[in-house]
Structure 1
């Protein structure tokens, strides 16, 4: 059975060729464009750009203006892309500040670590110096050991003191015999005084002497 076949004598429908043609076209255009106006034949997705591409409008839609659905769609896409670009700029600024803050924190940690090491080294040097000075200083003379009194020694000292006190004779006036003799002498003195008074009275009256 006969079957129709199509033979292609050109490579215009080859996608790889279309990609090459678009790249060549962009390169030729960028030769005459300013850096800020340069074009890229790649899609936004391939470029890594977070932007929604617009759709093809056509001359009919452009003639209709904002009444055209395609024109209105592209207008909304451009508005959204502008808002997204603003958000991306703010996000990039925040990320830059975060990187700067992170670097400042790293520098501060390094500074604190360095100061701590310097402080520890100064403390170690001071301790070594103190030990060296202490080693060079002459040792003090040993103090004589003094006996420490204990309970047994105190008891023996008190017992010896009591024995010495008892062995010493008490004065006469502090004993019982001494008291008795003092009382007897006092009575004798009183009787003698009474007798002397009676003799004095009798002598004055001319009576006989006793």
Structure 2
């Protein structure tokens, strides 16, 4: 069937034909005398080039070369998003099924003390070859809805001195501290 040929449809039933006549009964055809004709002579009809000119290519190439390309840094870790883990390990970490090899309780620490203790804890745990560790921050005081340490820990993990040690961070299960604790999955210590 050609594109210009109208499609032949099914024959309308009597009730459909009556309904159609009723719908179009008050429609008046457009006055074709008043339709403005567009003059196409005023428009540029040169075909658009598919490829940019060599001048444009050279300009683009030079701008790319001139820019200093820096390697992208690692993506920030987000609680509950384990993009660098295989699915099975991510699920086991989230469900608290990995063996916790070390614990750090930050109750009673101020923010600076907690950051320093976390840094030392993560570095030492990784040196010992430990993979899954638990960091207990506490839920915070009654007046503080989230707790300074609990809110700060995911940010501290993403600082350059700690980020390269940690693969994933997950909220702990209730038996391990729940909202007041985090599982950290540390990178394996590579032998050189």
TM over 0.5: no
Higher strand share: 2
Instruction: Give TM-score scaled by structure 1 length.
Output: 0.15
| Larger RCO (CA within 8 A; separation ≥ 6) | 2
Bigger fraction of residues in helix: 1
What TM-score, normalized by structure 2, do the two folds share?
0.16
